[in-house]
Amino acid sequence: MILRVGTTGDYMPFSWYKKNTQEYIGFDIDIAKHFAALNGFKIQFIRTTWAALSYDLITKKFDIAMGGISVTAQRKTLFSFSNPIITDKKVVVIRCVDKEKLKFYNDINHNSVKLIENIGGTNEQCAKTYFKQSSLTLFSDNRKIFDEILNKNADAMITDKIEADYQVRIN
């Protein structure tokens, strides 16, 4: 029997698709592989996006979804969730050189600040809810979104603290 796992492959440290080896890695990927092995399943990872995740699960493109997926009120009405492995909070990511300029909420929630978010996830929802004055750009490639900040194409983004901590370590 095959366990089909939907994942975005763009959200370290949970799920990352390595193009050069064509394999998925990450914490949730390890859990999925372990679960499949314990239960006698072969495993198949199926790529999805944050915007398509709920639709793909509803239409049975895969059996389960994994990869650092936040529990939201809407998702709770549609799906069952396991007990969370971790709980996290949203944080604002900025370049270190801007830490004095973008120190407070009102500094970021300003029309001169270029906010960038991946399409369809809880980060986008958070940005639209709490940073309505910022200039928001929706970016299609979550794997390269931090480069947009580093390259000064955007000033800030909202993400989960665990992803921000990971990005600080590698950048």
pLDDT digits (tens, 9 = 90+) for 127-144: 999 999 999 999 999 999
All residues at 6 or more sequence positions from 9 whose CB lies less than 8 Å from its CB, including other chains: 15, 16, 17, 24, 45, 47, 67, 143
Q: What is the CB-side half-sphere exposure of residue 33 using CA atoms within 13 A?
A: 10
pLDDT at 72: 87
Cα separation of 120 and 113, whole Å?
A: 21
Is the confidence at residue 89, as pLDDT, over 90?
yes
pLDDT at 170: 87
Is the confidence at residue 102, as pLDDT, over 90?
yes
Q: Which DSSP letter does residue 118 get?
A: E
pLDDT at 163: 93
Cα separation of 162 and 25, whole Å?
A: 16
Alpha carbon separation from 69 to 9, 28, 49, 52, 79 (Å, rounded): 12, 10, 11, 13, 12
Q: By the 8 A CB rule, do 167 and 96 touch? A: no
| Phi, psi (deg, nearest 5) at residue 108 | -85, -40
Alpha carbon separation from 88 to 10, 63, 69, 84, 120 (Å, rounded): 18, 25, 11, 10, 19
Task: List pLDDT tens digits, range 35-86.
Answer: 999 999 999 999 999 999 999 999 999 999 999 998 889 899 999 999 888 8
pLDDT at 86: 87
